[in-house]
């Protein structure tokens, strides 16, 4: 079915007072509705959201996919634009979406955006971090989120993918401490997910995968072109590879006690 796109932007939040205003300001011009699913923030996230026309829903944390699917289910429109609170729609991407809304679009179309990450004040285009293409605009009748971490959209039936012009700007790493904190969080989640699936750690994976990861990202994916930041990114990413297997091994040991 062809239709003119009425669009709901869905955002999940938890203590995002540093980011949410920038995010909301970047989506308000093309959003017919904005739904924020907040995991009981204790900072000024709700206060900042009240400055915008936002449907603000408080929901105890259920997991990434569950939170986002709740937002999708509460949307007044079938077309969903998903954005994280620490992201911002660039001017070019905003114009791409505005142009799209004036066209007749069939339900089986899905739209990919390229994500560009800011690391310690610099935009990173190497290390395997760009274009970091992700589907972020689609019709909810065709798919929903699945997965506990690095969640993806599970589509029913065939889809037609189109990459939109412009970048989704990602402000996740203000400093090295942020990178290490996030790496520690996600390696724990990845290890737990793999353990639940019955996967095992090994000496080869634990000790040989990290240097291969560093060589891949720093040499073959051009990390060296980013200077000291590129070296830091590749070193921490390699160490994260080691950590996820180490934490998986730890879970295996704990399960045998």
Task: Examine the domain organization and report whether 165 and 104 are in the same domain.
Answer: yes
Q: Which residue has 């200077």 as its token pair?
A: 227
Q: What is the pLDDT of residue 194?
A: 93
Q: Is the pLDDT of residue 1 over 80?
A: no
Q: What is the pLDDT of residue 170?
A: 98
Q: Name the least confident of 25-39, 104-118, 144-158.
A: 144-158
Task: Examine the domain organization and report whether 193 and 127 are in the same domain.
Answer: no
The string of pLDDT tens digits covering residues 65-124 is 999 999 999 999 999 999 999 999 999 999 999 999 988 899 999 999 999 999 999 999
Task: Examine the domain organization and report whether 134 and 233 are in the same domain.
Answer: no
The phi, psi pair for 201, rounded to 5°, reads: -85, 170
Q: What is the pLDDT of residue 138?
A: 97
Task: Examine the domain organization and report whether 32 and 127 are in the same domain.
Answer: yes
Q: What is the pLDDT of residue 3?
A: 61
Residue 165 is given by DSSP the state: E
Task: Examine the domain organization and report whether 196 and 79 are in the same domain.
Answer: no
Separation of first and last alpha carbons in the chain? 57
Task: Examine the domain organization and report whether 184 and 164 are in the same domain.
Answer: no
Task: Examine the domain organization and report whether 114 and 130 are in the same domain.
Answer: yes
**Alpha-carbon torsion (134, 138, 140, 142), positive or negative:** negative
Q: What is the pLDDT of residue 164?
A: 98
Task: Examine the domain organization and report whether 123 and 65 are in the same domain.
Answer: yes
Which of 147, 173, 199 finishes a domain?
A: 173
Which of 142, 173, 204 finishes a domain?
A: 173
Q: Is the pLDDT of residue 58 over 90?
A: yes
For residue 75, the enclosing domain spans 2-173
pLDDT band for position 196 (50/70/90)? very high
Residue 216 is given by DSSP the state: I
Q: What is the pLDDT of residue 174?
A: 93
Which of 173, 192, 223 finishes a domain?
A: 173
Instruction: Specify the number of domains making up the chain.
Output: 2
Q: What is the pLDDT of residue 120?
A: 96
Q: What is the mean pLDDT of residues 142-156?
A: 92
Task: Examine the domain organization and report whether 11 and 80 are in the same domain.
Answer: yes
Q: How many CB atoms lie within 10 A of CB 222?
A: 16
Q: What is the pLDDT of residue 177?
A: 96
More confident residue, 7 or 147: 7
Q: Name the least confident of 62-76, 119-133, 192-206, 238-252.
A: 192-206
Q: Is the pLDDT of residue 256 over 90?
A: no
Give the residue from 132, 119, 96 showing the smallest Cα distance to 5: 96
Task: Examine the domain organization and report whether 143 and 55 are in the same domain.
Answer: yes
Close Cβ partners of 65 (under 8 Å, ≥ 6 residues apart): 144, 145, 146, 147, 148, 151
**Tokens, residue 48:** 């900042």
Task: Examine the domain organization and report whether 196 and 242 are in the same domain.
Answer: yes
Task: Examine the domain organization and report whether 66 and 136 are in the same domain.
Answer: yes
Q: What is the CATH number of the domain that holds 115?
A: 3.90.550.10
Q: Is the pLDDT of residue 4 over 80?
A: no
Q: What is the pLDDT of residue 78?
A: 96
């Amino acid at each position: 079915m062809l239709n003119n796109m009425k669009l709901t932007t869905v955002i999940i939040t938890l203590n995002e007072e540093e980011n949410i205003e920038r995010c909301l300001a970047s989506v308000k011009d093309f959003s017919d509705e904005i739904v924020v699913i907040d995991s009981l923030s204790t900072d000024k996230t709700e206060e900042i959201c009240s400055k915008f026309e936002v449907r603000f829903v408080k929901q105890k944390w259920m997991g990434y996919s569950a939170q986002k699917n709740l937002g999708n289910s509460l949307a007044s429109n079938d077309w969903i634009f998903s954005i994280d609170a620490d992201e911002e729609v660039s001017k070019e991407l905003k114009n791409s979406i505005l142009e799209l809304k004036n066209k007749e679009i069939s339900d089986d179309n899905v739209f990919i955006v390229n994500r560009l990450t800011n690391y310690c004040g610099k935009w990173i285009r190497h290390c395997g971090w760009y274009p970091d293409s992700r589907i972020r605009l689609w019709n909810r009748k065709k798919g929903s989120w699945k997965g506990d971490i690095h969640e993806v959209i599970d589509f029913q039936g065939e889809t037609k993918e189109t990459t939109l012009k412009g970048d989704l700007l990602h402000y996740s790493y203000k400093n090295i401490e942020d990178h290490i904190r996030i790496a520690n969080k996600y390696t724990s989640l990845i290890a737990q997910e793999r353990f639940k699936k019955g996967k095992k750690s090994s000496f080869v994976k634990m000790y040989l995968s990290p240097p291969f990861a560093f060589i891949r990202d720093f040499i073959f994916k051009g990390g060296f072109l980013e200077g000291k930041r590129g070296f830091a990114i590749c070193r921490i990413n390699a160490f994260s590879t080691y950590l996820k297997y180490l934490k998986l091994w730890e879970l295996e040991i704990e399960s045998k006690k």
